[in-house]
Structure 1
Amino acid sequence: MVTRTVDLRSDTVTKPSKAMRAAMANAEVDDDVLGYDPTAFRFEMEMARIMGKEAALYVPSGTMGNLISVLVHCDIRGSEVILGDNSHIHIYENGGISTIGGALGVPVHRLVQAADSVSVCLSKGLGAPVGTVIVGSKVFIAKAKTLRKTLGGGMRQVGVLCAAALVAVQENVSKLEGDHKNAKTFAEGLNKIKGLKVDVTSVETNIVYFDILEGANITSQELCKNVEEHGILLMPERAHPGEIGLGQ
């Protein structure tokens, strides 16, 4: 009988912590579309400080944040965006743009100091329930705020969500390095299992992919079903049927 579930499908399946739920319940709120929500303002100021930028803007999703950023940067009709063929936005977001950062033992403001804008997902490794924050210059964020409203991303008492995001930033950033080390150890263990293959050198964050080798006599779907019976949840990689991706 399974008494505990280990969910490795994705880091997007995390649940809000007790501290996040308490912060959400007690958040001071107002109309953020009008610029009056104090919790949203405090969160955006803190994110701008952490990232070493002038201003920040909370948006509902990474896809919207990426699209807004592209529209601000490419404000002349006919502009082009150059991407790598394995770019996250090319594969998963059908044309959105994403700047992905991680805990590499380097202050984050140093990692992004050369970037004009940065999109930070709050609901993945940081574990907030929803949202992304864009950071950049005051001029950039002013334009981004107008586009957010145009795209339907303006929310009224959004401080309820920003309160959880603030807790995530304050409590979970320090845990990322350990999370990444655990993923590396996990990848090394998987690589010792007959029939599985992991490129251990590619595991730098909390994402682990492994391949099922030919001759293993099991499909990725069958493997996921088998381990689920033991309380372990995995997710086959959509683009590569014989590959499974894990997000801790």
Structure 2
Amino acid sequence: MKFRSMYLLLSAVTLTVTIIGCSSSDGGSSDNANCDELAGIHILPLAPVYIGAEITLNATPSDNVVYHWTGPLGWEAYNGGLPGINTSATVTGEAKIKHSGWYYLQASVEGCEDRIDSVYVDVKLNQGVPTCSLIDNKATFNTNVTLGNQTFYGSYYNANGVGGGYEVTANSSNGDMYLYFPSYWQTHPLADGIYYTTDDNSSNIDTVDRVYLWDVNGNISWHATAGYPVYVSHVAGKIRIAFCSIPFSGSFNGNPYTATINCQITQP
């Protein structure tokens, strides 16, 4: 009887261990599968972003994952966690330089360690080249008043120009040309790309792809019409600024004048 009692006791213990083991194995299998899936979540490659374009971030899709996005300017978005939920997040429909920076994804599944990924978004100026034939360091005028062209003998680049912006001045014997870029370019190298003429000489970071352009020639102060492209590039490490057929307006002694100007200026 003594041996029979010990056999029954051991059998009971064995049975108890077996039941506990099965329960643990069944629960862990599902958790491990979700955690393994979470480990593969990452931000998908992003095409180059240019000013004015949409910024949309995408991640590896999963029905089980909650996606938490954060980025510059306090941007934040949540999505995912339910079947059919889109795993992309739109930052803006109109990219500006201020949207450049690091964006982070925190992917979560209950019971698993969060997955963190990041991507740097570098918003660039739109690119292009002038479409007219230009002579270096010369401005040609097509105007309704007798006026000579300007041949520039020097140009100067001042990071602390008028209105706190980045200023370029080109000098000639019969007048000077002035270009004012927003103050953003005081602390950043003037980037290659297309800038657009503006009537506004403020230094708003939203308008870093703008340039205020005016010229003095023949005792007339000429101001560029807003909305025309000015092309900035670098040649052998020197800044080159060029534009084609930009309309200018001016007045002298109360008389209005108009001109169309082509110009190219290269840093000495």
**TM-score category, normalised to shorter length:** under 0.3
Bigger proportion of residues as helix: 1
TM-score (normalizing by structure 1): 0.25
Using CA pairs under 8 Å that are at least 6 residues apart, name the structure with larger relative contact order, 1 or 2: 1
Question: Based on CA coordinates, which of the two structures has the bigger radius of gyration?
Answer: 2
TM-score (norm 2): 0.24
